Copies of this chain bind each other. A is one copy, B any other.
Amino acid sequence: MTKRKWMIKNGTFAVLQNEKPVLRGYMVIEDDLITYIGEEQPKVEENMEIIDGTHLFFMPGLMNTHGHTAMSLLRGYGDDLALQVWLQEKMWPMEAKFTADDVYWGTSLSVIEMLKGGTTTFLDMYDHMDQVAAVTEQSGMRGVLTRGVIGLCPPDVQNHKLKEATAFAKDWHGKADGRITTMISPHAPYTCPPDYIEKFVQTAYDLDLPIHTHMSETVTEVEQNVRDYGLRPVAHLQKLGVFSRPALVAHAVHLTDEEIEILATHKVAVSHNPGSNLKLASGVARVPELLKAGVTVSLGTDGPASNNNLDMFEEMRLAALIHKGVSGDPTAVPAVESLRMGTEYGAKSLFLDGVGTLAPGMKADFIALNTDQAHFLPHTDFISHAVYSASAKDVEHVWVDGKQVVKNGICLTLDEEKIRREAQSAFERLLTL
């Protein structure tokens, strides 16, 4: 088969890994890979399609490293409530009624929002994961998928759930032309007994997969961990072997200096979810200290019911803003660091090689922002504009694995109108049950 080879000319590109993080020039894509990026114009070959990038800013696709995307069906259904009221009276009763179909449409609604907003890779931890995988496959998006298991149930149910999680991880890892990878996920230390978590660690060894879990999101759960197991969550998970695997923990809001050290030593990655942590009043994670200690920190939206959107530009902006305001240091988390958290460090957190930067040999997962807009002027510093001024809706085009999935703001792979209709119906049906 002939390779498809095409070139962007006169573009402005984010090359955050370089000393000069913005480059004006050319990028060549061959099938699913970037093969050239630089200031010099490469040789134009016969039949090479050339796209003019004059009014576009090209960035690596954004990587959303923690979420429960089907919860979009509950967006706006209960806000501004105390955490336990929100969970016990709003989320859990509704989620208990979710069918495979609901997960399909809820995930589709989220995937279309994410793709149009420039997110090219998402991690999803939920139930009915076959549905999530099906949507991922159809959409052309890259997905790191994992059945999140709550273990507060009798042993036979525990075993059934673990088997289901294992089968899913095994069946789907490497599928959809390699766009789908999987992880192993005990939900959290406070929802899984220690011996159950150890079984997940064993499974992760058996399948050679990374582990993903919630950790230290609230003060309450940290205190409960100490009460129940005599240890704070980090030492507890370390003891259970979780950090002997490649591991990504979500939230990590409440950490001691010693815990930050342990995460750094074991190369545990952290998915920082600023929007959700603020909205649920969980607190402000110690991101500057984590970064200083060498921990890989990436960004996640969490579920759309606690955010309430999936705009990763907003998470990058929050990450760049709140740590300045809270620490009193205006140099905390500069724009370029925040953009790396949303891209390169995201890839690292998800244990994905070959995505997250624009460089030769990397997968062609990238997005283009329209720079001809009032809030991107003057054309001073596109890194600053992308972090401090942009939003999801500034994204014009999106490519994943070399294929265009969003063009002029329209998703090419999914039927948006149908998805919006079906998601609304699904929510209305859930209300009647």
Q: Give residues in A with beta carbon < 8 Å to B.
A: 72-77, 79-83, 86, 109-110, 112-113, 116, 219, 275, 277-284, 307-311, 314, 317-318, 320-322, 324-332, 334-335, 372-375, 377-382, 384-385, 388-389, 391-394, 416, 419-420, 423-424, 426-428
Contacts and interface: CB of A to CB of B under 8 A. Distances in A.
Given A113-B374, A330-B80, A325 B424 contact: no
Contacts of A79: 334-335, 381, 384, 388
A277 B113 CA distance: 30
A317 B73 CA distance: 21
A278 B322 contact: yes
16 contacts: A76-B389, A79-B388, A82-B330, A110-B374, A278-B322, A279-B388, A283-B328, A284-B326, A311-B391, A318-B321, A322-B322, A326-B326, A377-B427, A378-B424, A380-B427, A391-B393
Q: Which of A73, A113, A284, A391 has the most CB of B within 10 A?
A: A391
A394 to B, nearest CB: 7
Contact of A330 (B73, B83, B109, B320): B83
Contacts of A314: 314, 317
Number of copies: 2
A179 B232 CA distance: 59
B389 A309 contact: yes
B388 A76 contact: yes
User: When A and B form their complex, which 9 residue pairs have the shortest distance between CB atoms, in order from nearest?
Assistant: A278-B325, A76-B380, A378-B427, A308-B388, A281-B330, A80-B334, A278-B321, A393-B393, A113-B374
Contacts of A326: 284, 326
A330 B282 CA distance: 8
A388 B75 CA distance: 10
Given A76-B384, A76-B388, A324 B279 contact: yes
A9 B321 CA distance: 41
Contacts of A392: 375, 391
A378 B307 CA distance: 14
Contact of A332 (B76, B281, B381, B423): B281
A315 to B, nearest CB: 12
Given A284-B325, A424-B379, A427-B380, A82 B385 contact: no
A29 to B, nearest CB: 28
Contacts of A420: 372-374, 377
Contacts of A375: 75, 113, 308-311, 392
A327 to B, nearest CB: 7
A307 B388 contact: yes
Contacts of A321: 275, 278-279, 318
Contact of A388 (B309, B317, B322, B385): B309
Contacts of A331: 80-82
B330 A86 contact: yes
A372 B113 CA distance: 12
Contacts of A80: 320, 330-331, 334-335
A38 to B, nearest CB: 24
Contacts of A381: 76-77, 79
A320 B72 CA distance: 20
A76 B385 contact: yes
A373 to B, nearest CB: 8
A380 B305 CA distance: 11
A53 B389 CA distance: 30
A77 B380 CA distance: 6
A375 B112 CA distance: 9
Contacts of A374: 72, 109-110, 112-113, 116, 416, 419-420
A337 B349 CA distance: 37
Contacts of A75: 375, 377-378, 380, 384-385, 389
Contacts of A382: 76
A389 B308 contact: yes
Given A76-B385, A388-B79, A416-B374, A283 B394 contact: no
